Amino acid sequence: MCGIVGYNGKNKAIDILLDGLSKLEYRGYDSAGVAIREKDIKIFKSKGKLVNLKEKLSNKRLNGTCGIGHTRWATHGEPSENNAHPHISNDGNVTLVHNGIIENYLELTQKLKKHGYKFYSETDTEVLANLIDYYYKKYKIGPIDAINRTMVRVRGSYAIAVMFEEYPDEIWVARKDSPMIIGQNEDGTYLASDVPAMLKYTRQVYYIDNMEAACLKKNQVIFFDLNGDVITKEMKTIEWDITAAEKEGYEHFMIKEIHEQPEVIKKTIGSYINNKTISFEESGLTKEALSNIKQVYIVACGSAYHVGVCAQYVIEELSKVQTRVDIASEFRYRKPLLDKDELVIIISQSGETADSLAALREAKSRGVKTLAIVNVVGSSIAREADYVLYTLAGPEIAVATTKAFSTQLIVAYLFAIELALSKGQITKTKYNELLKEIEKLPTSVQSILDNDLKNIQKISSEFSYKQDAFYIGRGLDYAISLEGSLKLKEISYIHSEAYAAGELKHGTISLIEDNTLVIGVVTQEDVYEKTLSNLTEVKSRGGYILSISPENIDVKKVSNYSIKIPQTLKYFYPSLSVIVLQLLGYYIAVSKGIDVDKPRNLAKSVTVE
Ligand code: F6R
C-alpha cells in the first residue's frame, strides 16, 4: 500500500525523503513523488520504481530542508505520473500526500466544482488538497482549522501530510484509520507511515491517534485534537534493531527473515515464559479473565488467518473451549452472534489491516472483550484492543510473511495452554511437558535450516515450470497446508490450492494427472494413515508427491521425494513444517526469477478494504 514520509529540520530534505521512501518500497507501489520547500514548493513525480524518480532528480539542486514524499499503490486511477502524489490545490496553496481512501470523494468533488475548483487527476486524493484550501480561504482560518473541518467532512481512511504555501517552515499531518508515526531528534522532525522509514534517523516517536492533527516544526511537534486544542503526547522509544530493516548480505529480505526465525521464536517464547510459567500479566489478561471465557473467535486475514486455523485445533483440543475462526472481511459484515463472555482474538502482523481493525471495532461495539496478537507496537489494532500480546518478530520487510507467522503461532500455542490450565483442562504435568517442548522449537527450526535447506533448494528448481500444485493434510496438517499453498502462489505465481486430504475425493482429485505436484504434510500420528491412503490415491493417478513428515512416520512408499523434520508434540508440528513450506515457496519463486520481496499486485499491509 502507499507510503508516506516527511522531514523538517536542518539537513537536506531530499536525501532523507528518498532514503525513507526506499525503506517503504517493500509495501508495494507503482509511482512515487516528493515535494520540497525551496523558495516555493517544488514537486517531482514519476511512474514506476523509485529509481525513475531518482533519475529525474539527479541533475536538480534541491537544498530545501522541509519536504514530503509518497509511494502510491493505485486505487483510484491508473498508475501514472499525473495520478502520483503529491497533489496540489488549484492555486498551489496546499500540497498534500495521502494514504487511504476517501469514500465520498465524488460528492465532494461535485461540491468543489460548484465553487470553481478544477480537477486534473483521477484520484480521490486531489479532493483533499482542494477541500483544505476551500476551508482555509472561506473562513480565513489557519491550517489546523482547515484540516479539522476537512476531517469532519470526509468519509474514509487517511493519513495526510500537508504543506501550506503561506507556512514555509511547517508540515501538517492528520490521520484516521491509516498508520502514521512522528519522530524527532536533534536534527529535526520526521513523519512516516511505517517504522523502517524512520529507524535510521530516530527511534524516538509519537503515535498520532485517529482524528488528531499535528504540526511538525523544525525542532518541535505540536498535537491538536478535533477542536483545535493543543494536546500533549508522550514520546515512545521503538525497540527494533536498525539492522533488522537491512538485508545484511542475504539476497532477499524473505530468506533473511526465514533465517531469523529460530531467534525471534526464542525471543517471543522468552517474553511470555518465566520460571517455567506463562505470564500474560503485562497484557492484563489474568487467569480469572481466561477462566471466564465461554467461546473464542479468531479473526484475521491471509496468513494471520491461517495461524487462526492452526490455533483453533490446539485451543479446542487443550482447553475444550469452542473456537471459531473467521476471515476478517467476512466477520465484519456477517453480523456474528457475539456474547459478553466470549473473547475475540485479532491476529495481525502490521496491526493496521483494515478488515481486521474493523472486525475488532465490531466486536468492541458489541461489548465483547478483544485480544490482539500483534507485531507492530503502537499500531491501531494494538492500541484499540482490550488486551495485547506482542509477537517479537521485529520489522518484517518481505511482503510474504514468515517470521511474523511463526511468532504468531507461538503466541497462539501459549494462549491455548494458559487457557487450558485456567479452565482446569490440563494438569500441571501436562502444562510443564507442553512448555518444555515449546522451548525446543527454536533448535528444531534451526536444524531444518541447517540440514534441509540445500535439498529443498535443489528440488525447488525442478518445480519452477509447474502450473499447479496441491497441498494436502488432515487436522493441523491441513491448517498449515493453507499457509504453504499461499506462500507458493503469492510469490511464485503458480496456481495452488490447499485441501483437507479427505476432501480430495469429493471433486478435486479429477484434476490430478501425470506429474501434478502434490505436497503432502503428514505429521499428525492419529490421522497419518488416512492421509497416506489419500496420497496413494493421488500417486496411482500419476501425481508427483513431495511429503513432509517426522522420522517416526514412514511416507517413503507413497512419496517421490520426502523431507524429514524433527519430532515434537503433535500441536507444534505446524511450526516445523511451515519452515519447509516457506523454503519451498521461496526457492521456487527464486528459480523463476521473480522479485520475491515485492510480488506483483501485493502490498505488505492492506490498510484499505
Ligand atoms: C501473506 C501475508 C498476508 C498477511 C495478511 C494480513 O504472506 O503476509 O496474507 O498475512 O495481509 O496482514 P496482517 O498480519 O498485517 O494483518
Residue with the smallest CA separation from ligand 1 atom 10 is 303
Q: Which residues contact 15 (CB under 8 A, 6 or more apart)?
A: none
Residue 259 has a pLDDT of 97
Which residues share a beta bridge with 163?
Answer: 95
Our CA dihedral for 388, 385, 207, 233, rounded to 10 degrees, sits at -100
Tens of pLDDT along 301-311? 999 999 999 99
Average pLDDT over residues 600-605: 80
**Residue 281: is its pLDDT beyond 90?**
no
CA nearest 435: which of 314, 262, 275? 275
Across the beta sheet with 369-374, what order do the strands follow?
322-327, 295-300, 342-348, 369-374, 387-390
So what's the pLDDT on residue 250? 92
CA-to-CA distance for 93 and 485, rounded, in angstroms? 50
**Of the residues 303, 310, 607, which should be mutated to test ligand 1's pocket, given the most ligand atoms within 8 Å of the CB?**
303
In this structure, which residue's CA is closest to atom 16 in ligand 1? 348
pLDDT beyond 90 at 588: yes
Which amino acid belongs to residue 131?
Answer: L
Mean pLDDT confidence for 226-248? 87
Residues 349-397 have pLDDT tens digits of 999 999 999 999 999 999 999 999 999 988 999 999 999 999 999 999 9
Residues 304 and 348: beta-carbon distance below 8 Å:
yes
Q: How confident is the model at residue 414 (pLDDT cuts 50, 70, 90)?
A: very high
- What is the pLDDT at residue 150? 97
Q: What is the CA radius of gyration of the chain?
A: 25
Which atom in ligand 1 lies closest to the alpha carbon of residue 405? 10
Atom of ligand 1 nearest to the CA of 303: 10
Query: Do the beta carbons of residue 373 and residue 389 sit within 8 Å?
Result: yes
Q: Whose CA is nearest to atom 9 of ligand 1?
A: 302
Residue at grid coordinates 494413515: 529
- The CA distance from 471 to 456, in Å, is 16
Residue 516 grid coordinates: 501434478
Ligand 1 site-directed mutation target among 606, 607, 609, most atoms within 8 Å of CB: 606
Question: Rounded CA gap, 568 and 599, in Å?
Answer: 33
State in Å: Cα 461 to ligand 1 middle: 26
* Residue positions annotated with a catalytic role: 2, 604
* The predicted structure's pLDDT at residue 384: 94
Q: Separation of 21 CA from ligand 1 center, angstroms?
A: 21
What average pLDDT does the segment 71-81 reach? Answer: 86
Distance from Cα 304 to the centre of ligand 1, integer Å: 6
Distance 451 CA to ligand 1 centre (A): 28
The residue among 205, 25, 82, 10 whose CA lies nearest residue 603 is 25
Confidence of residue 127 (pLDDT cuts 50, 70, 90): very high
Question: On the CB side of 516, how many CA atoms lie within 13 Å of its CA?
Answer: 25
Residues 6 or more apart whose CB falls under 8 angstroms from that of 465 comprise none
* 605 CA closest ligand 1 atom index: 15
Measuring from atom 3 of ligand 1, which residue has the nearest CA? Answer: 302
Answer for the pair 301, 332: CB distance below 8 angstroms, yes or no: no
First and final C-alpha spacing in the chain: 11
Confidence of residue 516 (pLDDT cuts 50, 70, 90): very high
Closest CA to 44 of 12, 18, 10, 78: 18
Maximum separation of any 2 CA atoms in the chain, in Å = 80
Q: Hey, whose CA ends up nearest to atom 11 of ligand 1?
A: 302
For the cut 80, the answer to whether the pLDDT of residue 94 exceeds it is yes
Any idea which residue has 534541491 for its cell?
62
Is the CB of residue 499 less than 8 Å from the CB of residue 468? no
Pocket of ligand 1, beta carbon within 6 A: 301-304, 348-350, 353, 356, 400-401, 486, 490, 605-606
Percent of the chain with pLDDT over 70: 100
Query: pLDDT class for 175, splitting at 50, 70, 90?
Result: very high
Cell of 134: 476551500
Helix (H) or strand (E) holding 94: strand 94-102
Q: How confident is the model at residue 28 (pLDDT cuts 50, 70, 90)?
A: confident
